[in-house]
Structures are given as C-alpha cells and as structure tokens.
Amino acid sequence: MPAGLVLLDKPEGWTSHDVVARIRKVANTRRVGHAGTLDPMATGLLVLGVESATKLLTFIVGADKTYGATIRLGASTITDDRESDFLERATPEAVSKVTLPEIVSAIGELTGEIEQVPSSVSAIKVNGVRSYAAVRNGDEVKLKARQVTVSKFDLVGEIRHVDGFIDLDVVIDCSSGTYIRALARDLGSKLGIGGHLTALRRTRVGGYSIEQAAPLPEVGTALNLISSYEASKAFPTMELSEQDVIDIRHGKRLKNPNALQGEIAAVRDGSLIAMLTPLGKQLKSLVVFND
C-alpha cells in the first residue's frame, strides 16, 4: 500500500477510532493513524495517515483548526453538548432577557488568548485514566485550565429563540487543544443561563480543508490517497540536492542559507525525504522518510 494522507468527511455517529478501523480494512494495513479526534456527534474533516505518512501526523496534529458550530443557550449539560442530560436549565423568562449585545460581548471575552478548562468528558488523562472514563464511572473530575487561542469567534446569521432556548450559529478559528464544547459552556456561564453544543463540524485542519475531503469509503473500494509529497506542500518546502539526501540519510545536518523557520518539508524529485527544523544556522532532521 502506498504511503499518504487521507482526508475524510467524518459522518455523525462514528468515533475517530471507528474511522481508523475502517481505513485499515480498506487499505489492508494496520499502519493507520489520525491527526486529532472528532467526537461521535461531530462531523467534518478528519486527517489520517497511511503507512509511513503516519509520521507526518505529528506535524499536523498541532495545527490550528476551523469549526462551524451551533450553540444552545439556556441549559448546561454533563458533557457540554446534546449527548447528555441537563445539569441546569434556565427559566424561559431568564433566557428571554438575554440580549444580542450581551451575547456579542460575552463572545468577545472568549476571543483571543484565553484560559480554558477543558470539558470533563475529554480524552485528557487524570492519574492515568481518561477523563471521560472517570466521569462515566461517577468520579468527580477537575481539570486544570490551559491557555488556548481563539482567533475568530463569529456569529453567523441571526439568533433563534426555540422552545425557551437561544440557538446561535458560529464559526471559530482556534489553536489545537481548544474545546468548542467548553466555549459553548463558558458562553452560557458568562450569560448566566448555561450553554451547550448541539452541532459541530470541522472544516479546516492547518492547510487542509473540508473541500478536499472524501466520504468514508466502503471496504473493497479505492482509497483517495494524497501522496506524502503532495501532503508536504502544506509546509514550507526545500528542494534537496543528491548530496543533501545522502547527508540526511546519514544523520548529518544541512546548512540553512535562507534562514528558513518552523517545520520544513525537504523534497527531492517529487519525493518527501524528511521533515527538518532550524538549529542555529543549520537544519536538523525531525523524521526521515525512507520509502
């Protein structure tokens, strides 16, 4: 099986692990991984690596992301989304008093560099146990706040009053590690009426967009594979000489005459050779692709 990335539009109801299991069957290989989970409720872009391209996932998982979401104001839930029972529900009178300027102001407070407490039902480990597993076992979980960046938190269209709730559609650009469920929770908390997520769709991961994604393939069908070389175009690239390739494969460092910064894709004759990073005036390899 050739190495490469697979960009999929994950359907609702599937876990990221379910999708990996399907792609393993389609590609007939165990060597499949993904660059960041999506909850079963969520849909949208899931980036997977096949064979040696799984090494690329390390450089994609930390990329910033874009989401479209629907937030329901008026109730908080155990999981901060519609997949669990209400913790508290505001009265219709309290919800009706919340104004659009107040919502916009609260959204502004959740934009930029913020301290966010992740949702308790998350994959974060506490004392070696996944937070979501501890919550389901009835344990109380308190996670530490972490700094995340929400570079865009925009209302889309008009707010809607539905059955004593306020529904609003938003578009969010954020750093890796940001929990959109937690943004919904915190928005409702700031407004004093609670909030949770009712829909979530990821539309971008770094340089990859949902427009590039394919539907989940059936077993026995062809896999829409992006070669490692094509995938590397999402990074700054550097064309290598034949001697450079030899040096990299022997663990040597290269000169950095153009003062390249960040993670750099080193290529030669249409093949991805390595991912490099600056070290002083040189470039050292982070990972080398032998195939």
Q: Which residues are catalytic?
A: 39
Q: Which letter, b or e, does each residue of 31-49 get, where b requires 16 or more Cβ atoms within 10 Å of its Cβ? A: ebbbbbbbbbbbbbbbbbb
CB within 8 Å of 258: residues ≥ 6 apart? 238
Both tokens of 57, joined, read: 């996932």
Both tokens of 205, joined, read: 């991961």
Q: What is the DSSP letter of 40?
A: T
Among the listed residues 206, 222, 54, the one whose alpha carbon sits nearest the alpha carbon of residue 214: 222
Within 10 A of 224 (CB to CB), how many other CB atoms are there? 15
11-19 contacts, C-beta under 8 A, 24 or more apart? 11/43, 11/215, 11/216, 12/40, 12/41, 12/42, 12/43, 13/40, 14/40, 14/216, 15/40, 16/46, 19/46, 19/48, 19/216
Among the listed residues 24, 32, 134, the one whose alpha carbon sits nearest the alpha carbon of residue 78: 134
CA pair distance 279, 256, nearest whole angstrom: 9
Q: Identity (one letter) of the amino acid at 10? A: K
